[in-house]
Chains A and B, each alone.
Chain A
Amino acid sequence: MAQPPHTPLPPAWADRLLRVVCPPVLQEELLGDLHEQFDQQVAQVGESTARRLYVWEVIRFCRPYLISRQVQAQMAEVNTDLSFSFLHPNMLRNYLQIAWRNLLQDRLFALLNLIGLSMGLGCIILIYLWVTNELSIDKFHANDPRLYQIMRNVTEGPNEINTYGNNSDLLTPALKAEMPEIDHIVATSDEVWDGIASVGAKHVKAVGKSASTDFFNVFSYKLLQGAADQVLRSIDGVVISDELAVNLFGTTTQAINQIIHWEEKPYSGNYRVTGVFKKPQPNSSETFDLLLTDQLYLARNTMDQSWDSNRILVYVTLKEEVDVAKVNAKIKEFVRDKFKAAYGPKNLPWIGTLFLQRYSDKYLHNVYINGVPTGGRIEYVQLFSVIAVFILVIACINFMNLSTAKAEKRMKEVGIKKVMGATRLTLIGQYLGESTLMSFLALIISLIGVAVALPVFNTIIGKQLTLQLDGRLITALLVITLVTGILAGSYPAFYLSGFKPVAVLKGKLQTSFSQLWIRKGLVVFQFALSVLFIVVVLVIYKQMAFIQTKNLGYTKDNLIRFTNEGRLQDHQQAFLAEVKTIPGVLKASSMSGNLIGSHSGGGGIDWEGKTERVEFSGLYVDYDFIEALNLKIAKGRPFSKQFGSDSSNVIFNEAAIAAMGLKNPLGKTVTMWGKKKQIVGIVKDFHFESLYNRVGPFFLSYEPYTDNILVKIKAGKEPEVLSRVEQLYKRYNLDLPFNYQFLDQDYQVLYASEHRVAVLSRYFAGLAILISCLGLFGLTAFTAQRRQREIGIRKVVGATTDTIVVMLSADFLKLILVALLLALPMAGWLTNKWLDHFAYRIHVDAAVYLITVVLVITIAWLIVGYQAIKAALANPVKSLRSE
């Protein structure tokens, strides 16, 4: 078979490249010229060189001139495909142009819309940042889906199940031995200790707790030095945070095997550093600087080990693929079974049942009703999410109202477009596009606003949020902005696109009853929300004021508290005696724990004729405690040196006496945790807990050596006395910092989250009202403008300014009244629900509603009235002469 003559051809890919960069109309002649040249060059310089030259020549064709023509050609082709589509590039350009012109034409309305939407979006962004942060807390643990805390439900009365986190220290080894579903289990102390870590003369305040060996297997706190399985093994070992390591040793790497001294009774001593961990980040609900071993905790703690001594928190990771419900069922009666086997059925009712709670859920769901997690912080997260959405909705309503009100001006545009063949869909697309454009403009402004407001917001919520534009945030922002744009544009889009072209071109805008109704309805809705916000803010404010001023049964002012630490612990009585000699010190005493916040207590009190168990709270205190706090004695006497030793005496509050049902209690003997004590006095009830709780049974027991010193200072003498007390303190603890706390600061901490809610809701309510007012302002301005001629004619034929003002404002004020009528009952119901959380609460009186009504009507009237008066005072000649 004869070979066909070889025809050299240029590289095919070069031809393809040329087709890509050159417009189709030129391709034929260009390829023709190129191929002709190639053939000549093959003859002149050979095939391979010709091919190279050919490629080179083609590459030179990739020049802007040809490429730009190619792009134009492609666009033209697309255009012909889409010639009837509303996405036609020319149409898109037209939409943008018209949107932009509309913005410029009505600068006032555009500005009102923009401000409103920016504020709404700003709120949403802030709340989004906060909520995502709250939701991320404790989620960083690698075993998060399998990480649970073992909780304990105790039935402590009819219909009263209380939930506790602490458990028996016998539980951990028993569960580990008997439950194959558990992967790792760890026990930690049920409280954290504020102590002092020292190396040589260097002292650092630190927060410590104890943990058993598997701590770093259960939790994902990062170990920088040491192995997870080893660091908590030896009883003299301590694991410290990188921060503490740097503070003590100046390094994290050289800290291992160094000895540190830890001062916090009864765990004081010298410990060897076995590991260094990275200090828990802000997205961890727990923070601590140092971990001692569980063995040490159990050895030093004086409580007996038993199935009824609850002093550890237990966390487990379950094995993969384990059914939580089954584990829950298995552990429910675990402790009760053990207790019964060990000690018999007596007291069994006081032993709790166990259940598992996801560790990362605990942060937000930390309130239990009848043994089931029912709320907690999550309520605030939900509350503020709802508020943010409402504010955005109010802003969107502004947009809807102003755009539909303005529709008259645009009806010709719509008419012409429809005549030219625009479909309803086209117009809807256009108006949605306009509102989306608006919301994106608002997004830019709101981002600037958020960046400015974030530091303030952070101080209110007590967090360190940052505006980091990562992928997730950007996606969220885009979605929020798009949804806002579509929400704001939805009603105007359907409304405007529904015009009948013939009617609108003839100049008739049929404003039907239903359309007016919607616009009015939206205004009512907006103001109803604002009214709701105002009432809520007022009620929260009043309840907070009530908390601040309520007679608590003790005086919390001018009282300082500081920890009895270091060498002070051994010379407490001498120290107190010296403090009392300082001029300006009224009383000095000591207490175990803190009156506000942490008490001792339990059910281990027996008395004559006891029929049912009562849970007591209580404090171990020194002489002068009752006097320092100004507690009122109802019967008997306070602890006093005049009566010899009070160490076998006890004082109860009235609630305790009532709960025990003792008649003539003075002089009677009770048994407290095995020790006989005589009742020497009864104090009137005082609020030792937050006002969420009723005052319960309380005891005061005499104990001269406790961990908190309390000093009552004469008002006005604080600076002198504080510096004298500090000098005295330094005599005992030269190298420890003197840190004191005013008792009323402790009191504020009880209501920190209420305080946050109060401040935040004030801001948000302010914003909601502001945005609503912007809308009202726009709407009245528009109405006044539209009725300019009518007003002119009315004035010419004799209407007075008054009648015109009334005519213009009445319409809007009616709407505000409707809003008030709708919102007030709703607000009353909601605030009552919130107040029900408090055992001691205010009752919302007429004044709150009255203030709201007056406030809202005044604001609305100022806005409406301003426009109305302006319109009514205008010279009618101006509005009438043009025709």
Chain B
Amino acid sequence: MSRTYLGEFEELVLLTVAILNSTAYGLAIAEELKQRTDRSINLSGVHVALYRLEEKGFVKSELGGATTARGGRRKRLFAITAYGKRTLDELRQVRNDLWQSIPNLSFS
């Protein structure tokens, strides 16, 4: 498999970046994930996942959007790249194929 490996948590973060699109930054992603997955999410994990994703080329980032709420500090805003989008598509395709291959077994 030529594609870079994508961990489960990384995949979740990448999906969230795609959802939030241009307003995605560390805290926002963490909140979104907390709401949607009901898991305990910590900020450092999200950040590290984001940096990894960026190193692998799935997301790109820029600094921007300073607000007084953060003591005047800027946010790093993340956006999914075309390569990231394609990778998500491929992953989904693989999953769909796999789902469809499951025979109709009855467990009850």
Contact = CB atoms under 8 A, between A and B. Distances in A.
Given A34-B43, A39-B69, A60-B42, A29 B26 contact: yes
A66 B69 contact: no
Interface stretch (B44-52, B79-87, B88-96): B44-52
A30 interface: yes
A471 interface: no
A65 B48 contact: yes
Contact of B71 (A35, A60, A61): A35
B64 to A, nearest CB: 10
Chain B contact residues: helix, strand, loop or mixed: helix
B73 A35 contact: yes
**Chain B interface bracket (under 10, 10 to 19, 20 to 34, 35 or more):** 20 to 34
Interface in B49-89: 51-52, 63, 69-71, 73-76
Contacts of B30: 37
Interface string A55-66: 001001101011
B19 interface: no
Nearest to B76: A29
B25 A33 contact: yes
A36 B42 contact: no
Contacts of B25: 29, 33
A66 B48 contact: yes
B78 to A, nearest CB: 10
A200 interface: no
Interface residues of A, number: 18
Given A57-B42, A60-B42, A30 B70 contact: no
A65 B73 contact: no
A67 to B, nearest CB: 11
A32 B74 CA distance: 7
Given A36-B27, A36-B69, A39-B69, A29 B63 contact: yes
Interface-centre pick from B26, B45, B74 (highest chain A CB count, 10 A): B26
Contact of A28 (B43, B45, B52, B74): B74
A37 B46 CA distance: 13
A28 B73 contact: yes
A31 interface: yes
A346 to B, nearest CB: 103
A361 B52 CA distance: 72
Interface in A52-100: 57, 60-61, 63, 65-66
B44 A57 contact: yes
Nearest to A61: B44
Contacts of B70: 31-33, 35-36
27 contacts: A26-B47, A26-B51, A29-B25, A29-B74, A30-B47, A31-B70, A31-B73, A32-B70, A32-B74, A32-B75, A33-B47, A33-B75, A34-B43, A35-B73, A36-B27, A36-B69, A36-B70, A37-B27, A37-B30, A57-B42, A60-B43, A61-B43, A61-B47, A63-B44, A65-B51, A65-B52, A66-B44
Given A29-B76, A32-B75, A33-B70, 17 more contacts: A28-B63, A28-B73, A29-B73, A29-B74, A32-B70, A33-B26, A33-B47, A33-B75, A36-B27, A37-B27, A57-B42, A57-B43, A57-B44, A60-B42, A61-B44, A63-B48, A66-B48
**Would you list the 8 A-B pairs with minimal beta carbon distance, nearest first?**
A32-B73, A32-B70, A29-B76, A33-B26, A33-B27, A60-B44, A61-B44, A36-B70
Interface of B: 25-27, 30, 42-45, 47-48, 51-52, 63, 69-71, 73-76
Interface of A: 26, 28-37, 39, 57, 60-61, 63, 65-66
